[in-house]
Amino acid sequence: MSDAGNKINKTTQKFGLIIIFTMLGFGLAIVANIIFPQVAEDVSLEKYAVLGLNLNINDAYRIVLAGIISIYGLLGVYAYVKPERRDQYIKQAKFRFVMGLALALWDLLGTKLEVLPQPFFPGPAGIIRAFLMESDFIWQNTLYSLRLFTAGFLAGVVFGIGTGILIGWFPKVYYWVAPILNITGIIPAVAWMPFALTLFPTPFSAAVFLMVICVWFPVASLTASGVQSTPKAQFEVARTLGGNELYLLFHVAVPHAMPQIFTGINTASAFAFTTLVMAEMMGQPGGLGYYINASKVWSAYYKVFAAIIVMAILFSLITRIVKLIESRALRWQRGLLKNE
């Protein structure tokens, strides 16, 4: 066999070991759950009907772990086919392995032994019980949160970009609007809640208003900063080529401000999600915040953890979508930045 063939085989074997190492921690978590006896006696092992199967919390937990193993295995195959993804997969292998061990330890302390204070810190198998009991209700509240977030966040982004462009481009608008932005923007959105609940006809519209307020400030501020920092030389070149005021604004200033606009959007998304949860906990008829509040009243902390996990997944997906849009809009930056 040629040297090139030997090199390819060694690379394949090495990456195969990385994939196995990535999945090993979760495999050990499954083994630990199977072989370690259920010492704590007050843990409910009631069976629930799921897709024609009768599962208790430990069965469902093992299925979830097997699903995670399958996902990381498929991602490993994809990373092998796409060399540009390979380094990132290798870097995350240690973290994924330790994450699997952490789940195994959490399962032993929270479910098998119940060493952790109960009911405040249930094990991962106990948290899965919430999905087995009322997955439909969790799904309904997740959709409510997603609808509320989408309405408030998109409205805030549009309003913020529009305000930022006006402030950054027109000195008279800056004179009148910038002080209002600087004064009201630093006030936490939840401080406006009593007024929002009074002024708006429904809790939903009041929550949308609060999210618009919290998104508006960072997006508008950074958009205005990006427009104002456009080098004069770019405007002079555009005028030489016959560009009018609208052309200078939308083909020179706004594109120059795009990196800062997306910085504002990324910052605002975290603020919006925090405001979303707080608004749902203080008067919404649904949503993950509402679900947490209702569960806390009955000391069903496994449901609280279930909602937190859904929030983490949901917000991670939203952040990923924003990053993909940013990557597409700022594709001209590839190769120019440190991490590109």
Spell out the SS3 assignment of 161-201.
Answer: HHHHHHHHHCHHHHHHHHHHHHHHCCCCHHHHHHHHHHHCC
Q: What is the CATH number of the domain that holds 150?
A: 1.10.3720.10
Least confident stretch, 114-123, 139-148, 256-265, 278-287: 278-287
Quick one: 157 and 89 in the same domain? no
Quick one: 177 and 323 in the same domain? yes
CA atoms within 13 A on the CB side of 152: 32
In this structure, is residue 122 part of a structural domain?
Answer: no
Does 336 score more than 80 pLDDT? no
Quick one: 141 and 69 in the same domain? no
Q: What is the pLDDT of residue 7?
A: 58
Query: Which residues, in sequence order, are bridge partners of residue 48?
Result: 55
Please state the rounded mean pLDDT for residues 57-71: 95
The 10s digit of each residue's pLDDT in 144-201 is 999 999 999 999 999 999 999 999 999 999 999 989 888 888 888 888 888 888 888 8
Quick one: 219 and 109 in the same domain? no
- C-alpha 52/C-alpha 54 separation (Å) is 7
Percent of the chain surpassing pLDDT 90:
59
* CA angle at 106 for the pair 274 and 92, rounded to the nearest 5°: 70
In this structure, is residue 124 part of a structural domain?
Answer: no
Quick one: 179 and 282 in the same domain? yes
In this structure, is residue 231 part of a structural domain?
Answer: yes
Residue 114 Rama label (left phi>0; alpha psi -120 to 50; beta)? left
The 10s digit of each residue's pLDDT in 6-45 is 656 777 788 889 999 999 999 999 999 999 998 888 888 8
Backbone phi and psi for residue 62, each to the nearest 5 degrees, phi listed first: -65, -40
In this structure, is residue 339 part of a structural domain?
Answer: no
Instruction: State pTM to two decimals.
Output: 0.86
In this structure, is residue 167 part of a structural domain?
Answer: yes
In this structure, is residue 140 part of a structural domain?
Answer: yes
- Total domains in the chain come to 2
Burial 203-241 (b: 16+ CB within 10 A, else e): bbebbbbbbbbbbbbbbbbbbbbbbeebeeeebeebeee
Least confident stretch, 70-74, 88-92, 109-113, 279-283: 279-283
Q: With 0-12 CB in 10 A as exposed, 13-18 as middle and 19+ as buried, what is 24?
A: middle
Does 262 score more than 90 pLDDT? yes
Peptide bond preceding 231: is omega within 30 degrees of 0, i.e. cis? Answer: no
CA atoms within 13 A on the CB side of 283: 18
8 A C-beta contact, residue 280 and residue 145: yes
- C-alpha 183/C-alpha 177 separation (Å) is 10
Range of the structural domain that residue 11 is part of: 3-45+55-115
Burial 302-333 (b: 16+ CB within 10 A, else e): bbbbbbeebbeebbeebeeebeeebeeebeee
